[in-house]
Structure formats: C-alpha cells, structure tokens
C-alpha cells in the first residue's frame, strides 16, 4: 500500500510539474506576442502556434544554454518546497487541503520570479515583468498545485 | 571519360594546404602584443591626444591618462559623477574633430540612481590632466530603473554631427520600435547638443527629433568611415543574434521584431528573423560573441588590414577581423584568442597600431604592432 501511495504521489507530482510548466509557457508566449502586436506587428495564427510550440519545448523542458536549467526544473524545485509546506499545513487543516496546495503552487512560482530579480538584478523572463505577467505565472503554479492535490489524495475505503 | 591523375592532384592539394597554413602562420607572426598599461578597472574606451598621450575611461568612473607610455597615478579631474552599477558607469570618450583648436572631449556615462537613471553625454575642455567647463549635451529620455543596456558609444560623422547610441534598457525592448523615447535608438545632434534641422524625424508628430535610427538593442560599437561616410554599428543580441549593421537615417533595424537571437530562457523573442520594412544586418553572430567595441582600420602599420573592421568580443574573448569590400563582409578572421581575456574595445592609434582594452578589474591596454617595429 505504501508503495502504491508513493507511486501515486510521484505521478501526481510529475503531472503537476508538466501542467504548471505548460500553462506557464503558453501564457508567457502569449504575453510576448501581445507585446509585439501592441507595437503594430502582425502575427498570423500559424506563426503564433509555431512560436507557442517552440517555447513550450525549448523554454519549458529543454535547459537554457544561458541559465543551464529549464523552466520545468525551476517549477519542479519550487513545487517540491511548496508541497512540503502545504502537506504540513494540510495536516492541521485537512478540509482546506486542495486550496492550500493550489495557493502553495502559485506562491512557489511568484517567489522564484521575485527572488531572481533580487538575486540577478534583472527580470529573467521578460513576460513576468508586469503584474499581469506575474499573476499569470502564479496561476500556472496554482494549476499545478490543484493537480497535485487532486491526484495525490489518498483514496479512502467506505 | 578521362581519368583524373590522383597523385598530382593530391600533391597539389597538399601544397595548397601547406601554403595556407604558412600564410596563417606568417600572419599570426606578423604582430607583437605589448602591454602598455595595466591595473585599470574595467577600461571601456580610449582616445588619442595629439601630443601622443592617451585618455582611458574606467567603468567605475575614472578617466585615466597614459603619458609618455606610463599610466599616471592621479586620474583626470573634473570628470562628471557616474552612476556605477551593472553595465553602467563612465563609458566612451571621444575627441572633438577640432580638438587641437577647441580642446573639447566628449564623455558618455550613466547618470542617476537605481530607481531613475539615464545615458548622458557631456563635453568639457581638457588641458593638463583636468576637465573644465563641463556641459551636458545629451540625456536619454525617459529615465529607467535598470543598470544595463546603455549603448553609450559616440562618434563624429564626416559632417561634424555627433552620433550617440542609446540602448533599450533591457526591459523596454518593445519601446525600441516607438519614436517617443530614446530606448534602442541612435541619435544625431550638433556638437553642442542641439538638433540638426535635417534629422529624419524632425517635424514628425510624436517623434523625438534627435532620433536618427531605431530598432536597436545594446549598441556598443559605432564607427564612421571617413572616406565613404558610411556608419557601422554593432549591437549585442540576446542569446545569439549579435549584429553588425550599416545604419542610414530614418531606418528601422528590427529589434525586437526581427532578430536571430533567443531570450536567455530559450524562448523566442519574436517569430521573425526578417520583417517587412526592417533592415537586415550585414553580419550576425549565433552564438553570441558579445561585441564590445569596434574600429575601422585605416593605419599604415598593417597594410593588409586596411579597410577592415575589427570587433572586440567580450564573451568570445577574441577580436574578429572582418574583411570588408564596399560595405559587404567577405570573410572573418579570429585574432588574439591566445590572450585569454575579454576584449572591451579595439581602436586604431595614430601610429597605425591597434589598441585593445581587456575587460576585467585588472584591465589592460594592449598595443598590437608589427613584429620588428620599434616601440
């Protein structure tokens, strides 16, 4: 049973990271493209789709040559820390478990993006420089937290 | 079908290869590197005075003097205070074309603080290790909150107008396409900072009249060909996409719409490498070499290099010699890789020697002269 539970948690975690990364990348790309259309650049649907797919693969899951890590890795590390804290809080507030994990996922990404600004002195991801961009990334983390809460829950027998 | 005799072909090929390597070797042996000064804090630029002295800017805000080949301990006085942070500080130095008459030098520097700073260019009279009558001739607008991407190169055109590069400030990249600000622009002013009547956007509603070209990122190389009047500019790309451009008034050089570079995260900055109405570079580098400065060699010491452009590369830690014919790059040679240091700037001295600045807290001025020439 313990092994089954561990496998379920791992699968839920991987799903959370994949979903959070995908949502963060897709939204991030739309912010970048919106900034370009905002200065009069015409972008077709196919160019939009191709750019989104490119970013999803090359920004989301392949390590950047400049940073040496991928966004998925960053999100994964952030979610590990956030979910450990969420697990502790859920122990005392089991009724709010899903909300706690959801909020923890969002806070994890905001914390990383904010910390990177103070550590490196620049915004690492251009799309996260605006409040709306930052909120969109928090939403991606929250989606990951919700996925994890939903699929890692221990099934109860009646 | 006739058969090609393989043995003579192989011998000929070996001869060609041997000749090629001989040429490369002889080229490499043609110059000698001589450290003229060391212990400079991130030297950024240099200017040659008519009496043979050399002024060197240090990014931490000092203007230093090399007199009779010796770096003077005391810095030049009267230099404006710089905002020293990130890539900012004291940057370029240029002599007025009529320096021997008016003693004017021009300095570019970061001004302000972490919340609000800008590129500034000021001029002052220089005499005996001191600046006097300092006057600001340009300030990039609006102020920004990042200590990076200042551009900050200065060059005088053949008509005596002053060109200044102003970078995009890193987080303001889309504004490089808008004409209501100085982010990502090259500006052209008279030597006193006033705006020439024939600038391309004079009279255009909503456009700043100083703007000469736009759509740039971080332009740290600017050279005017004194014979053709052609203006060469190089700019840093992000991750890849460094560019050498020939700039012309009123034209758009694409950033951040058309670029060969990617964001540092690996994401695209734009779907486009080319875009209608935007100029293409004459040369670009992927991966980035991080071009930090440039000269158009017109000296006598290295006749084979005359008319070529030399680009100092920071990240790549080499100098690139670009063989130019009528503004087109015919080939590229990698030089000085054995020095093993980041190169901030390369200039042609009045003696025909090349001068290199290395980018470090213990930076050097390196003189490149033909082997066998007297020092």
pLDDT tens figures, A25-47: 999 999 999 999 999 999 999 99
CB-based contact B42:B361 (threshold 8 Å): yes
Residue B31: which residues within 8 A CB-CB, separation 6 or more? B302, B354, B368, B369, B370, B371
So what's the pLDDT on residue A79? 97
Which residue of A lies nearest to B288 if distances are taken between CA atoms?
Answer: A66
Question: Which residues in chain A are contacts of B173 at CB distance < 8 A?
Answer: 126
Of B174, B239, B269, the CB nearest to A38: B174
Residue A124 confidence (pLDDT) above 70: no
Query: Coil, strand, or helix at residue A72?
Result: helix
Question: Which residues in chain B are contacts of A122 at CB distance < 8 A?
Answer: 146, 148, 170-171
Yes or no, beta carbons of A36 and B174 under 8 Å apart: yes
Question: Which residues in chain A are contacts of B178 at CB distance < 8 A?
Answer: 39
Residue B172 distance to chain A (closest CA, Å) = 9
Yes or no, beta carbons of B271 and A62 under 8 Å apart: no
Residue B27 confidence (pLDDT) above 70: no
Of A38, A59, A121, the CB nearest to B267: A59
Residue B147 confidence (pLDDT) above 60: yes
Lowest mean pLDDT among A115-124, B183-192, B255-264: A115-124
So what's the pLDDT on residue A2? 84
Query: Which residue is associated with the tokens 């072909």?
Result: B9
Question: Which residues in chain A are contacts of B86 at CB distance < 8 A?
Answer: 121
Mean pLDDT calculated for residue range B194-214: 98
So what's the pLDDT on residue B326? 85
Yes or no, beta carbons of A64 and B264 under 8 Å apart: yes
Assigned token pair, B108: 């570019």
Residue A108 distance to chain B (closest CA, Å) = 18
So what's the pLDDT on residue B253? 98
Q: What is the pLDDT of residues A57-68, one digit of tens each?
A: 999 999 988 888
Q: What is the pLDDT of residues B35-57, one digit of tens each?
A: 999 999 999 999 999 999 999 99
Residue A158 confidence (pLDDT) above 60: no
Mean pLDDT calculated for residue range B339-360: 97
Yes or no, beta carbons of B178 and A47 under 8 Å apart: no
Assigned token pair, B213: 């070209």
Yes or no, beta carbons of B270 and A58 under 8 Å apart: no
Annotation marks residue B149 as catalytic: yes
**Among residues A60, A134, A46, A41, which one has the least CA distance to residue B267?**
A60
Q: What is the largest CA-CA distance in chain A?
A: 61
Query: Coil, strand, or helix at residue B348?
Result: strand
Question: Which residues in chain A are contacts of B262 at CB distance < 8 A?
Answer: 58
So what's the pLDDT on residue A116? 76
Residues of B with CB under 8 A from a CB of A: 86, 146-148, 170-171, 173-174, 177-178, 239, 256-257, 262-272, 275, 287
Pairing outcome for strands B31-40 and B363-370: antiparallel
Mutate to test the interface with A, among B242, B259, B271 (most CBs of A within 10 A): B271
Mean pLDDT calculated for residue range B155-169: 97
Specify the DSSP element, H or E, that contains A138.
helix A131-152
Residue B21 confidence (pLDDT) above 70: no
CB-based contact B237:B221 (threshold 8 Å): no
Residue B335 confidence (pLDDT) above 70: yes
Assigned token pair, B66: 């090399």
Q: How far is it, in rounded angstroms, from Cα B128 to Cα B347? A: 23
Yes or no, beta carbons of A54 and B268 under 8 Å apart: yes
The radius of gyration of chain A from alpha carbons, rounded to an integer in Å, stands at: 17
Phi, psi of B84 (to 5 degrees): -100, 105
Residue B271 distance to chain A (closest CA, Å) = 6
Residue A157 confidence (pLDDT) above 90: no
Q: How far is it, in rounded angstroms, from Cα A148 to Cα A78? A: 13
Q: Which of B96, B111, B149, B234 is catalytic?
A: B149
**pTM for the complete prediction?**
0.89
CB-based contact B75:B137 (threshold 8 Å): no
Q: What is the pLDDT of residues B99-115, one digit of tens each?
A: 999 999 999 999 999 99
As a residue count, chain B comes to 375
Q: How far is it, in rounded angstroms, from Cα B105 to Cα B96? A: 6
So what's the pLDDT on residue B4? 40
Mean pLDDT calculated for residue range A6-19: 96
Mean pLDDT calculated for residue range B159-184: 96
Yes or no, beta carbons of A51 and B268 under 8 Å apart: yes
What ipTM goes with this model? 0.88
Mutate to test the interface with A, among B86, B167, B181, B265 (most CBs of A within 10 A): B265
So what's the pLDDT on residue A120? 63
Lowest mean pLDDT among B24-28, B78-82, B181-185, B282-286: B24-28
Assigned token pair, A25: 């990348």
Residue A126 distance to chain B (closest CA, Å) = 7
The confidence band for B374, taking pLDDT boundaries of 50, 70 and 90, is: low
Assigned token pair, A145: 């937290």
Residue B345 confidence (pLDDT) above 90: yes
Residue B253 distance to chain A (closest CA, Å) = 14
As a residue count, chain A comes to 158
Which residue of B lies nearest to A58 if distances are taken between CA atoms?
Answer: B266
Query: Coil, strand, or helix at residue B11?
Result: helix
Q: What percent of chain A has pLDDT above 70?
A: 92
Of A28, A38, A121, the CB nearest to B267: A28
Q: How many Cβ atoms from other residues are within 10 Å of residue B133's Cβ? A: 10
Specify the DSSP element, H or E, that contains A33.
helix A2-37
Query: Coil, strand, or helix at residue A94?
Result: helix
């Amino acid at each position: 049973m313990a092994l089954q539970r561990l496998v379920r948690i791992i699968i839920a975690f991987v799903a959370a990271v994949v979903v959070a990364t995908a949502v963060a990348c897709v939204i991030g790309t739309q912010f970048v493209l919106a900034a370009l259309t905002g200065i009069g650049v015409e972008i077709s649907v196919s160019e939009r789709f191709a750019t989104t797919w490119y970013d999803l693969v090359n920004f989301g899951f392949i390590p950047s040559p400049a940073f040496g890590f991928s966004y998925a890795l960053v999100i994964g590390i952030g979610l590990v820390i956030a979910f450990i804290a969420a697990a502790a809080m859920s122990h005392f507030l089991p009724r709010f478990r899903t909300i706690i994990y959801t909020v923890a996922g969002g806070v994890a990404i905001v914390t990383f993006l904010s910390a990177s600004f103070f550590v490196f002195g620049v915004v690492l991801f251009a799309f996260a420089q605006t409040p709306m961009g930052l909120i969109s990334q928090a939403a991606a983390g929250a989606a990951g937290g919700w996925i994890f809460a939903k699929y890692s829950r221990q099934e109860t027998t009646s | 079908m006739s058969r090609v005799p393989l043995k003579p072909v192989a011998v000929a090929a070996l001869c060609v290869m041997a000749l090629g390597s001989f040429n490369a070797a002889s080229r490499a042996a043609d110059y000698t590197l001589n450290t003229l000064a060391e212990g400079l804090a991130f030297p950024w630029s240099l200017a040659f005075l008519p009496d043979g002295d050399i002024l060197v800017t240090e990014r931490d805000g000092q203007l230093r003097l090399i007199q009779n080949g010796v770096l003077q301990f005391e810095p030049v006085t009267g230099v404006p205070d710089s905002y020293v942070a990130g890539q900012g500080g004291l940057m370029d130095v240029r002599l007025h074309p009529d320096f021997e008459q008016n003693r004017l030098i021009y300095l570019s520097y970061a001004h302000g603080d972490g919340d609000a700073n800008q590129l500034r260019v000021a001029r002052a009279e220089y005499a005996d290790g001191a600046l006097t009558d300092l006057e600001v001739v340009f300030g990039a607008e609006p102020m920004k909150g990042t200590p990076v991407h200042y551009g900050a190169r200065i060059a005088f055109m053949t008509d005596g107008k002053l060109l200044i590069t102003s970078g995009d400030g890193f987080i303001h990249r889309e504004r490089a396409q808008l004409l209501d600000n100085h982010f990502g622009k090259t500006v052209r002013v008279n030597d006193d900072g006033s705006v020439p009547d024939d600038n391309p956007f004079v009279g255009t509603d909503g456009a700043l009249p100083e703007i000469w070209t736009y759509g740039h990122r971080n332009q740290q190389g600017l050279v005017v060909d004194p014979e053709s009047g052609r203006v060469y500019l190089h700019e840093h790309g992000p991750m890849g996409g460094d560019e050498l451009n020939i700039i012309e008034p009123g034209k758009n050089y694409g950033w951040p719409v058309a670029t060969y570079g990617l964001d540092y995260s690996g994401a695209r900055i734009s779907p486009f490498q080319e875009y209608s109405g935007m100029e293409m570079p004459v040369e670009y580098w992927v991966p980035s070499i991080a071009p930090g400065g440039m000269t158009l060699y017109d000296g006598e010491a290295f006749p084979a290099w005359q008319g070529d452009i030399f680009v100092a590369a920071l990240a790549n830690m080499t100098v690139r010699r670009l063989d130019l014919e009528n503004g087109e790059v015919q080939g590229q040679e990698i030089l000085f890789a054995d020095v093993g240091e980041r190169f901030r700037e390369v200039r042609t001295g009045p003696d025909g020697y090349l001068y290199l600045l290395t980018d470090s807290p213990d930076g050097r001025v390196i003189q490149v002269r033909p082997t066998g020439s007297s020092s």
